[in-house]
Amino acid sequence: MTSAREARAFDDDDDPRRRRAAALAIALEDARDPIARRDFLARMGAALALAGLGACTRAPRQEIVPYVVQPPEVTPGVPRHYATASTLDGYAIGLVVESHEGRPTKIEGNPEHPASLGAAGAFEQASVLSLYDPGRARAVTERGSVVAWSRVEEALTRGAWTSTEGKGLHLLLQPTSSPTLAALLDEIRERLPRAAISFYSPTAPENAWEGARFAFGRVLEPRFALERADVVVSLEADFLTTGPARLRLARSFADRRAALDAMIRLYVVEAICSVTGAMADHRLRVRSGEILAVAAELASAVGLPGLPGGVPPTLRAAAAPHRAWIAATARDLAAHRGRSAVIVGNSQPPEVHALAHAINAALGNLGTTVTLAPSPVVDAGGPAHDTARLAGELADGQVDTLVVCGTNVAYASPADQSLGELLARARQSAYLGLHADETAAKCTFVIPEAHALESWGDTRAFDGTASIVQPLIDPLFGGRTELELLSLFTTRRDARAYDRVRARVHADLTRGGAGADLEQRWRRALKRGIVDDTTIAPVDARVDWAALAKRLARTTPTPPPALELVIRPDPRVHDGRFAANAWLLELPHPITKLTWANAATVSVQAAAQHGLETGDEIELRASGATITAAVIVVPGQADGSIGLTLGWGRTRGAELAHGRGANAFALAAGVAVAPLSVDIRKTGARHDLAITQRQRDLAGRDEDILRHATLEEHRRSRPPPRDEGRRHLTLYTKEPREDVHQWGMAIDLTRCTGCGACVIACQAENNVPTVGPDAVYLGREMHWLRVDTYLVGDPEDPEIAPQPMLCQHCETAPCEYVCPVNATVHSADGLNEMVYNRCVGTRFCSNNCPYKVRRFNWFDFHRGEDATRELAHNPDVTVRQRGVMEKCTFCVQRLREHGIRERQGRAAAPPRTACQQTCPSAAIVFGDLRDASSDVARLRSDERAYAVLGELGTEPRVRYLARLKNPNPELG
Amino acid sequence: MSAAAAVPPRPEADGELPVLEHAGTYAELTDELLDKVLRPPRWMRPALLLTFLGSLVLFAAIAYTVTTGIGVWGNNIPVAWAFGITNFVWWIGIGHAGTFISAFLLLLEQRWRTSINRFAEAMTLFAVVQAGLFPLLHMGRPWFFYWLVPYPNTMKVWPQFRSALTWDVAAVTTYLTVSLLFWYLGLVPDLAVMRDRARERWRRRAYAIFALGWRGSARDWHRWRIGYGLLGGIATPLVVSVHSVVSSDFAIANLAGWHSLIFPPYFVAGAIYSGFAMVLTLMIPARRLYRVEHVITTRHLDSMAKMLLVTGWIVVYSYAVEAWSAWYSGERYEMYMTLVMRPFGPYAFVYWVVIACNCLTPQIFWWRRARRSAAALWVASLLVQVGMWAERFMLIVTSQAHDFLPSSWGLYRPTVIDGALLFGTMAFFLFLFLLFLRFVPFIPIAELKELKHRVATEREERVHG
């Protein structure tokens, strides 16, 4: 309470910035007290509302003042939604963010955005937690001491380069597609023509750009229309979970997967098991280094009539053992001319990309399933994306002022350039970052970066569609955006990001022929989350066969190493940028189910050969460097490959992840490098790996748990006898209620890829705590929704089958009758409800749950939470205390809100659960079972529908649809 | 040591060994037995101190658990019940022998029960106290334990009567209450003797309070006899009901290996088995330390050994039936649990300990020499208790560890706190037991004199009749 008094004292301060900072500090302090927190929320809400966020016409940098008159657009307790976008490696995903009284709490995909289609992945879902990360950089510092912003402003804008047209000034950015940033960079280039600007991300699609240059003579990016494709071949492309169009491709693939009359067929050639590989009908496991040969062989088998001299046999030689497989695939492709596609992963060299373009051209796919268009990324494929020049100039001491924006280059730098070491050679350097990380430690100035949810900006999707990035909240720690920092180097130093974005979009809109309705269209762009008429039109690209032939002739295949190291971006922390995010750290890896670390993956055969088993530690020696990593045996991986993901082994700025996992950057620069030759040695040490699912096979229980078949088997089999007529003996009394909704869910296993987006969506929506690696190891993870991933079939090269598992809301729930205190009961609308404040924690319900979806608060998991972290909580969901059981509620808060709206007579869209809403492949369908026309009712009566462990008579409200595959009969 | 012990064992009418080998007068018998309490042996003080320190371990572990959270145990999902419930079932099982001996054998007119019944009842009481700790502690929010009790409340919520845990509360509290009353009522005449004989004034006062004004009049004896008989009658069905109810904690669940109709009799037999073993574990050293071999005779050992053999065989039969019905059901999960997971799974070691201790150990009692050897019996009793604890652990943990969905399979590893609680309850149990030995006559003096009288009368009848 003393702090409240101080707050009043600060009100007298003249400097609004100081006042605001003080008010925020006090508010955060007060947030520990639940009643004061409400007060705080009101104040935060007021600040944003008065800032005009609702109208989105003014930047939100305003003072925090309490409500005097409640703003008309804010109703306490009713969340508002704003469209914005997030960017990964320069490509945008459109988002809709839920905001409670000015506090963003939940992120959804923007249904109108072409890269989202309403879905969001794990990274996007988790970004709200990064916003409230108490470990974020909080103050502008110079060599570790806090300084005023004016000091940075002054220092950065002075230097030798001011008199040499910018020579000596170097800007290092993340790849970007922002039109405003591009315009700003042009401004800088114009003013300081000799300033160097470069872009760096370890996961940028440089090989793809280069491959397009080989094939077409210029940088183009392929876009795939899987909705029109019948056969898809992926050459190490994990297109369902990586790449700029991942969510869209997952959706279109799933749609064609579930269309049983026209089911798409997928061939995947890869070394390391990926989510896309798990969805393949045929998966050829070969070493990453041999895929060039496979591509060449495939090109040759398909036939490239335009290529003078054909595909050089030397290129194809290594694929000889797989010739039959490739020939069958080629025949399948050839049978689907114009309705097929070959997709190549970024890790493959440019030649493979070029060959794929050639195959697509030869198959007549260009213009139908594959279209080509220039990249939305600024300077894509250009020299600016090479950091070699920067490294050279740093080494020579030619860099006077270096500004690094957002890219943690000291950690994630190309191993051969060791930029981290070189950063100190600049006279002065500044780092704009969310965390005081490895790069921050090497730079003179550290400037806290504003999170995307705190920033004005813009960004473009894979197809060029521009979105405006809107702030949902005033920067919590006074962060600045890239636009604001780089404005220092323009003539308009003080231009606010908001003004720049607005000016830029207005310019676009004016060019589009807008007149008087400009303001209206600006508002419309903000509201919808996309700017009209900004897509980049595809071009009619022709393969330059002569150049390609020359190029291929020059290519000499390097003999693959005995043991290769294949580096992949991590599905949880990507390249390390999400390593401070507890939700992502605790998200099980989709294939290995490992949390809180990465591990070197080896195949069953390679493990046997080297005497390794899961949990052993090995030493990896490649390109002169050595690291140690724990081993996980992954059946289905190529025998000659060791897999390792990027982003682990962080040392600064991501406290939760420090020292966890192995830093792959120590061995390689990123994913765009050729597989490295690696030596491994068992050290004898053991790691307790926090794996959430240790038993990977179904123990012969396939029929009860995860039904899977080929399309052919499914067609041949008669529909299983419906046991509607059978009389179940039961002690339960069920009252079928016709007067209220009867909620139910259907999960289509043919669609589900097991990507894990739903897990994070559920965690964000339902205030599910993270527990840390030790607790995961003990079996105490709290995820209400988990994705079980089973290995089916051949134990050395199995099929990988995911199955989301959540509370099944059994109509005759085994958990309910064993609870001694009535803490878990059934609702009239068919939910199995958990009454937290009645629960005494006997855990009998969990024992009696055949699906083991109940989670227990072994400790007070929310206790240690920082006040800032608490802001991420969904106010509609109870934060559970120690000693109570919890589990999936079918997002009951959304259902009840829907019910209230219905009673008020306000028409409302059918409620959706968080998992359903975010699922990129639309595998989860939720709805009212009474309504026979609803999707969920229709799917429930599908002949593929079954209840997991149906024989137990639990009568779950969740039904699964059997997982079907569409193998090529020729390959059996 | 009185001269009475030197009397050679004379067979009784039924050809068995005598239940009492005392040749002195009633007064001598009284003096001798009272002497054990009035002049405690020298080892008593250090033994009390030691077990008290052990009890402190228990209290510390409890305090840590309650303040920090149940997470300090090794439990997880899927194994949400582990040491806590294992200990509960084990202790409550041990508690069965007392009531069985005092009430059941009373009805069956087994005279050898007299010398050991109070001993066994005290053991029951203290075992139930230990047992009662665990259901409380294993709750996530133990401070709300009373929500399991049906009491009128402003929340207008009753416990859920379909849950076996609410039956448990009723069964265990009933059992504790009846056992306490039965034990205490039996003690009253002897407490009166203590009141009369104690040297210090404060002791006389204390005993007087508990002796309830007993004067030894014919009316006192008359009322006492009716009350004691009635309580015995009430206690007898509890022997069967308590462990049947406890077994329902598992039997009503749908887990393979729990969901079994054989559980109630199986658990009751196991309970009596382990209870007898505990009586032996305590009785054999006490009998020797207090030099009462003439009161707790070889006959007692022999009878107890036979009981072990009988209950042991019921347990063996239960195991066999369990395995057979799992196989005969053809049910995938039952078969996996009973025929694969338990004998060959990750907890196979525990399974084979169970088989060795519970099935093989009692077989030595086919031999008379083993039945009459205190050393053999004592070792066997320890093994049986280890085996019965392991059996409960196996039943409880294996079924949870590998249930229906392989994805959620997981193992349980105990923590130091788990160990401290188990060890601590043992220490606390012994501590309470030593207090009992220290302050009240652990052999019912009045009843024993009655027995002596009957034995003598019978003998006379045999001689003269």
Q: Report, as an integer, the average pLDDT of B405-431.
A: 94
pLDDT level of residue B428 (50, 70, 90 thresholds): very high
Q: What is the 3-state secondary structure (H, E, C) of A563-580?
A: CEEEEECECCCECCCCCC
Cβ contacts (< 8 Å) between A803 and chain B: which residues? 407
Cβ contacts (< 8 Å) between B410 and chain A: which residues? 694, 779
Is domain A572-686 annotated with CATH 2.40.40.20? yes
The pLDDT value recorded for residue A794 is 84
The pLDDT value recorded for residue B3 is 41
How close is the nearest chain B Cα to the Cα of A843, in Å? 6
Could you give the CA distance from residue B360 to residue B352 in angstroms, rounded to a whole number?
Answer: 11
- If contacts are CB pairs under 8 Å, which of residues 235-264 in chain B contact chain A? 249, 252-255
Cis peptide before B18 (omega within 30 of 0): no
Cβ contacts (< 8 Å) between A848 and chain B: which residues? 253-255
Please name the residue of chain B whose CA is at the shortest distance from the CA of residue A805: B407
The pLDDT value recorded for residue A186 is 93
Could you give the CA distance from residue A828 to residue A276 in angstroms, rounded to a whole number?
Answer: 41
The token duo for A19 is 């006042």
How close is the nearest chain A Cα to the Cα of B358, in Å? 27
More confident residue, A458 or B460: A458
Asked whether residue A48 carries a pLDDT value surpassing 60, the answer given is: no
On whether the CB atoms of residues B291 and B2 are closer than 8 A, the answer is no
pLDDT level of residue A4 (50, 70, 90 thresholds): very low
- If contacts are CB pairs under 8 Å, which of residues 406-425 in chain B contact chain A? 406-411, 413
Cβ contact, residue pair A701, B332, below 8 Å: yes
Reduced DSSP (H G I as helix, E B as strand, rest coil) percent helix, strand, coil of chain A, to 5: 35, 20, 50
Please give the radius of gyration of chain B, using alpha carbons only, rounded to the nearest integer.
23
The pLDDT value recorded for residue A754 is 93
Is domain A141-203+379-528 annotated with CATH 3.40.50.740? yes
Please name the residue of chain B whose CA is at the shortest distance from the CA of residue A781: B77
B127 Cβ neighbours under 8 A, 6+ residues apart: B91, B92, B94, B95, B98, B275, B278, B429
H or E stretch covering B222? helix B218-251
The token duo for A395 is 């080494």
The pLDDT value recorded for residue B1 is 39
How close is the nearest chain A Cα to the Cα of B355, in Å? 26
Cβ contact, residue pair A841, B139, below 8 Å: yes
DSSP letter at A542 equals -
Report DSSP letters for B342-397, one per residue.
HHHSTTHHHHHHHIIIIIIGGGGGGSHHHHT-HHHHHHHHHHHHHHHHHHHHIIII
Could you give the CA distance from residue A50 to residue B250 in angstroms, rounded to a whole number?
Answer: 60
Could you give the CA distance from residue A698 to residue A666 in angstroms, rounded to a whole number?
Answer: 38
Asked whether residue A593 carries a pLDDT value surpassing 90, the answer given is: yes
Among A790, A821, A839, select the one facing B407 at the smallest CB separation.
A790
How close is the nearest chain B Cα to the Cα of A847, in Å? 6
pLDDT level of residue B21 (50, 70, 90 thresholds): confident
How close is the nearest chain A Cα to the Cα of B149, in Å? 9
Among B142, B254, B400, select the one facing A814 at the smallest CB separation.
B254
Asked whether residue A514 carries a pLDDT value surpassing 60, the answer given is: no
Could you give the CA distance from residue A301 to residue A510 in angstroms, rounded to a whole number?
Answer: 51
Among A779, A780, A884, select the one facing B141 at the smallest CB separation.
A884
Q: Report, as an integer, the average pLDDT of A78-97.
A: 91
Is domain A737-965 annotated with CATH 3.40.190.10? no
- A949's torsion region: left (phi>0), alpha (psi -120 to 50) or beta? left
Cβ contact, residue pair A838, B408, below 8 Å: no
Question: What average pLDDT does the structure give for chain A?
Answer: 87
Q: Which of A800, A840, A886 to mutate to test the interface with B (most CBs of B within 10 A)?
A: A840
Cβ contacts (< 8 Å) between B86 and chain A: which residues? none
pLDDT tens digits along A228-241: 999 999 999 999 99
DSSP letter at A887 equals -
- A588's torsion region: left (phi>0), alpha (psi -120 to 50) or beta? beta
pLDDT tens digits along B298-325: 888 898 899 899 999 999 999 999 999 9
Among A780, A803, A839, select the one facing B140 at the smallest CB separation.
A839
DSSP letter at A946 equals E
Report DSSP letters for A490-535, one per residue.
SS-TT--HHHHHHHHHHHHHHHTT--TTHHHHHHHHHHHSSBTT-P
Angle at B292 between CA B291 and CA B295, to 5 degrees: 165
A418 Cβ neighbours under 8 A, 6+ residues apart: none
Asked whether residue B2 carries a pLDDT value surpassing 60, the answer given is: no
Cβ contacts (< 8 Å) between B159 and chain A: which residues? 820-822
CATH class of A209-358: alpha beta
pLDDT level of residue A866 (50, 70, 90 thresholds): confident
The pLDDT value recorded for residue A231 is 95
Among B69, B78, B406, select the one facing A882 at the smallest CB separation.
B69
Among A693, A803, A857, select the one facing B140 at the smallest CB separation.
A857
pLDDT tens digits along A91-120: 999 999 998 888 899 999 999 999 999 999
Q: Say how many Å lie between the first and final Cα of chain A, rounded.
A: 74
Cβ contact, residue pair B69, A860, below 8 Å: yes
Cβ contact, residue pair B140, A842, below 8 Å: yes
Task: Please report how the helices B416-439 and B44-68 are oriented relative to each other, as an axis angle in degrees rounded to 10.
Answer: 140
Cβ contacts (< 8 Å) between A854 and chain B: which residues? 77
Q: Which residues of B18-56 are buried (b: 16+ CB within 10 A; e: fewer)?
A: bbbbbebeeeebbebbbebbeebeeeeeebbeebeebbe
Q: Which of B408, B409, B411, B418 to mutate to test the interface with A (most CBs of A within 10 A)?
A: B408
Please name the residue of chain B whose CA is at the shortest distance from the CA of residue A884: B140
pLDDT tens digits along A269-278: 999 999 999 9
The pLDDT value recorded for residue B48 is 95
- If contacts are CB pairs under 8 Å, which of residues 699-728 in chain A contact chain B? 699-701, 704-705
The pLDDT value recorded for residue B407 is 94
Could you give the CA distance from residue A380 to residue A812 in angstroms, rounded to a whole number?
Answer: 58
Among B77, B165, B413, select the one facing A844 at the smallest CB separation.
B165
The pLDDT value recorded for residue A54 is 40
Q: Where in chain A is the domain with CATH 3.40.228.10?
A: 209-358
Full set of structural domains in chain B with CATH: 13-464 (1.20.1630.10)
pLDDT level of residue B13 (50, 70, 90 thresholds): low
Cβ contact, residue pair A820, B148, below 8 Å: yes
pLDDT tens digits along A845-863: 999 999 999 999 999 988 8
| ipTM for this model | 0.92
Among B141, B163, B408, select the one facing A844 at the smallest CB separation.
B163
Put simply, whether A884 touches B (Cβ < 8 Å) is yes
Q: Say how many Å lie between the first and final Cα of chain B, rounded.
A: 34
More confident residue, A516 or A132: A132
Q: What is the pTM of this model?
A: 0.90
Backbone phi, psi, residue A91, to 5°: -105, 140
How close is the nearest chain A Cα to the Cα of B141, in Å? 5
Cβ contact, residue pair A818, B71, below 8 Å: no
Among B75, B160, B254, select the one facing A820 at the smallest CB separation.
B160
pLDDT level of residue B100 (50, 70, 90 thresholds): confident
Cβ contact, residue pair A780, B76, below 8 Å: yes
Put simply, whether B79 touches A (Cβ < 8 Å) is yes
Could you give the CA distance from residue A780 to residue B336 in angstroms, rounded to a whole number?
Answer: 25
- If contacts are CB pairs under 8 Å, which of residues 612-631 in chain A contact chain B? none
pLDDT level of residue A35 (50, 70, 90 thresholds): very low
Q: Report, as an integer, the average pLDDT of A412-436.
A: 86
pLDDT level of residue A26 (50, 70, 90 thresholds): low
| Residues present in chain A in total | 972
Task: Give CA separation, A17 vs A222, A282, A477, A638, A821, in Å.
Answer: 48, 61, 12, 58, 53
Asked whether residue A248 carries a pLDDT value surpassing 60, the answer given is: yes
Q: How far is C-alpha A243 from the geometric centre of its chain's CA atoms? A: 10
DSSP letter at A942 equals S
Q: Report, as an integer, the average pLDDT of A307-311.
A: 87
Asked whether residue A400 carries a pLDDT value surpassing 50, the answer given is: yes
Q: Which of A59-73, A379-393, A804-818, B44-58 has the lowest mean pLDDT?
A: A59-73
Cβ contact, residue pair B407, A847, below 8 Å: no
Q: Where in chain A is the domain with CATH 3.30.70.20?
A: 737-965
Put simply, whether A790 touches B (Cβ < 8 Å) is yes
Q: How far is C-alpha A467 from the geometric centre of its chain's CA atoms? A: 18
Q: Report, as an integer, the average pLDDT of A699-720.
A: 86
% residues pLDDT > 90 (chain A): 63
Q: Where in chain A is the domain with CATH 3.40.50.740?
A: 141-203+379-528
Could you give the CA distance from residue A495 to residue A770 in angstroms, rounded to a whole number?
Answer: 41
Put simply, whether A859 touches B (Cβ < 8 Å) is yes
pLDDT tens digits along A894-949: 999 999 988 988 877 889 999 999 999 999 999 999 888 899 999 998 889 999 99
pLDDT level of residue A474 (50, 70, 90 thresholds): confident
The pLDDT value recorded for residue A27 is 53
Task: Give CA separation, B366 vs B297, B305, B318, B354, in Å.
Answer: 19, 9, 20, 20
pLDDT level of residue B296 (50, 70, 90 thresholds): confident
Cβ contacts (< 8 Å) between A843 and chain B: which residues? 75, 80-81, 138, 140
The pLDDT value recorded for residue A69 is 64
Q: Which of A705-714, A834-843, B322-331, B448-457 has the lowest mean pLDDT?
A: B448-457
Asked whether residue B409 carries a pLDDT value surpassing 80, the answer given is: yes
The residue type found at A457 is: G
Cβ contact, residue pair A779, B68, below 8 Å: no
On whether the CB atoms of residues A842 and A883 are closer than 8 A, the answer is no
The pLDDT value recorded for residue B453 is 84
Q: Where in chain A is the domain with CATH 2.40.40.20?
A: 572-686
The token duo for A544 is 């330059």
**What count of CB pairs under 8 Å joins A to B?**
166
Among B163, B253, B405, select the one facing A851 at the smallest CB separation.
B405
Q: Give the CA diameter of chain A.
A: 90
Cβ contact, residue pair B406, A698, below 8 Å: yes
Q: Give the CA diameter of chain B.
A: 78
The pLDDT value recorded for residue A9 is 35
Beta strands in A375-453 (DSSP E): 401-405, 428-433, 445-448
On whether the CB atoms of residues B298 and B9 are closer than 8 A, the answer is yes
How close is the nearest chain A Cα to the Cα of B172, in Å? 15
Asked whether residue A576 carries a pLDDT value surpassing 70, the answer given is: yes
Among A695, A701, A818, select the one facing B253 at the smallest CB separation.
A818
- If contacts are CB pairs under 8 Å, which of residues 39-78 in chain B contact chain A? 68-71, 74-78
